[in-house]
Amino acid sequence: MHNQIGRRNTAVLRVLTIAAAAFAFCATASAQSSEANPQAVPKLKGGYVLTDVQLCVPGKSQNFQITGLATFDPATGKMKLNGYTAGGDPMTLNHVRQTLSYSNSATTVTLGDTVYQVTYGSLENGIAAYLSLMAVADPCAAQIWMSRQ
pLDDT one digit per residue (tens) for the chain, 149 residues: 544 444 444 443 343 343 343 333 333 443 443 444 456 899 999 999 999 999 999 999 999 999 999 999 999 999 999 999 999 989 999 999 999 999 999 999 999 999 999 999 999 999 999 999 999 999 999 999 999 99
Is there a single domain that holds both residue 30 and residue 61?
no
Pairwise CA distance, residues 70 & 122, whole Å: 18
8 and 58 share a domain?
Answer: no
User: Does residue 31 sit in the same domain as residue 54?
Assistant: no
CA distances 49 to 15, 34, 135, 147, Å, are: 43, 30, 19, 5
Asked whether residue 102 falls in the same domain as residue 118, the answer is yes
The whole model's pTM is what? 0.73
In terms of domains, do 20 and 83 share one? no
Which tens digit of pLDDT belongs to each residue from 54-71? 999 999 999 999 999 999
Residue 59, CA atoms < 13 Å, CB-side half-sphere: 0
Task: List pLDDT tens digits, range 108-132.
Answer: 999 999 999 999 999 999 999 999 9
| 25 and 90 both lie in a single domain | no
Together in a domain, 137 and 97: yes
Buried b (16+ CB within 10 A) or exposed e, 63-79: bbebebebbbeeeeeeb
